[in-house]
């Protein structure tokens, strides 16, 4: 079953790379009492993710935060080393949270997993964005085509805030 507006996010723990080294971060720490934009990509360093989806959120970070958002996070089915390298190379380290869902457990619990084995990627996340308030989904935007980042992009999220 796919998560829906009004549902609470499932509990998860992410090993996030920070400037001070790896830190375990839970969904409770990230979302409790906060208004957070969460978006997901099929994979770090993949073309649409690196050239379109992530840059839109980085470029519009201040505009999103100015609309009463406390934090922004991106999740991908990658390990914490890959997500940390992506955060560093994209200039996003310390600006948004790069959450590694290494075994797709969070993604599967959301019901937003996609089998991309045909493209050699295995189980990954669908591309989506959501506004989460105090751990509860307030808006959800899932792309029909994983190669596009329009419905789940920063511009759409800004309009919804």
For residues 55 and 49, give the distance between their C-alpha atoms in angstroms, rounded to a whole number.
8
Distance CA 7, CA 110 (A): 10
Instruction: At 41, give phi and psi (nearest 5°).
Output: -130, 155
Residue 121 DSSP SS3: coil
Among residues 9, 37, 40, 49, the one annotated as catalytic is 49
Residue 97 annotated in active site? no
Q: Which of 24, 42, 35 is nearest to 125 (CA)?
A: 42
Active-site positions?
49
């Amino acid at each position: 079953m796919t998560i829906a507006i009004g549902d609470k996010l499932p509990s998860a723990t992410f090993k996030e790379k920070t400037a001070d080294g790896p830190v375990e971060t839970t969904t409770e720490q990230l979302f409790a009492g906060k208004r957070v934009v969460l978006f997901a990509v099929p994979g770090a360093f993949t073309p649409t993710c690196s050239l379109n989806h992530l840059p839109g959120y980085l470029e519009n970070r201040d505009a999103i935060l100015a609309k009463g958002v406390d934090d922004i996070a991106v999740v991908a089915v990658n390990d914490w080393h890959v997500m940390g390298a992506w955060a560093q190379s994209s200039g996003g380290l310390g600006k948004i949270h790069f959450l590694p869902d290494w075994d797709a457990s969070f993604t599967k619990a959301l019901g937003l997993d996609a089998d991309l084995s045909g493209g050699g990627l295995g189980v990954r996340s669908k591309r989506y964005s959501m506004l989460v308030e105090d751990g509860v989904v307030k808006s959800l935007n899932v792309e029909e085509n994983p190669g596009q980042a329009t419905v789940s992009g920063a511009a759409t999220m800004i309009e919804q805030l």
